[in-house]
Structure 1
């Protein structure tokens, strides 16, 4: 089983950003409180230290020409990562940004796979 948290509605490009992108967008627009900003820095750093960034290993999974609907999903067994998403969801709730949780055994064609996450090219 795989899990993804994302925007409930598409952005202006027709994509559904994940919760990290949504919270980072709030930060870049100056909308976060000081406490939310501290949380974002701390947790983003934790994820950078503990989760492989597939784009740093090989940029091809996020190449929009090859994989126009690339999405990252956590494996349901990656509890240490999934549990930390809750704080990001609380920030989105506080700012009235709707999000949804998706769960699937077959979220799409896998183009990257590691012990904690996959990247898929859109829907099957």
Structure 2
């Protein structure tokens, strides 16, 4: 089983950014309070140390030409990584950013895999269990 938190609505490019992309977008636009900025700084640093950025292993994994639509999913067993997600979700809620939780046994063609996550290109007929907020 795999789990993904993402935008509930597609962006202008037709993509559904993940929770980290959504929060980092708020951050880049200067929309976070000082307290929220500190939360993101501390927790992004923790995540950077806690698990591998797939693009450091394979620089093409998120290349839009090579792997269009590539997206990361947590493995359900990676509860130590998902334990910090509620703070990010509260932050999205505070800024009115709709998000959803997806689960799937087969989210797509695996491009990258480690103990905690996979990066996939979704199958055209992939089925997800959506849990909107």
TM class, shorter-length: over 0.9
> Structure 1 residue 40 and structure 2 residue 37: aligned?
no
* Other-structure match for 2:88: 88
- In structure 2, list runs of 5 or more residues that go unmatched: 127-133
Q: What is the count of residue pairs matched by the alignment?
A: 124
Q: CA deviation at 1:61?
A: 1.3
Normalization by structure 2: what TM-score? 0.91
Relative contact order, CA 8 A, sep 6+: which one is greater? 1
Equivalent-residue separation in structure 1 for 2:66 and 2:28 (angstroms): 28
C-alpha distance in structure 1 between counterparts of 2:15 and 2:73, whole Å: 15
The answer for the alignment partner of 1:14 in structure 2 is 14
Distance 1:45 1:72 in 2: 18
**SS of equivalent to 1:86:** helix
Deviates more, 1:107-116 or 1:61-70: 61-70
Gapped regions of structure 1 (runs ≥ 5): none
**Counterpart secondary structure, 2:61:** helix
More helix by percentage: 1
Q: Where in structure 1 do 4 or more consecutive aligned residues deviate above 4 Å?
A: none
CA apart distance, 1:30: 0.9
Q: 1:81 and 1:55 mapped to 2: Cα distance?
A: 18
1:1-124 counterparts in 2 under 5 A? Answer: 1-123=1-123, 124=126
Compute the RMSD of aligned alpha carbons: 0.8
**Deviations for 1:73-113, whole angstroms, at most 9, x for unmatched residues?**
00000001011111100000001110000000000111100
SS at match of 1:93: helix
Q: What CA distance in whole angstroms lies between the structure 1 residues aligned with 2:58 and 2:113?
A: 12
Post-superposition offset of 1:58: 1.2
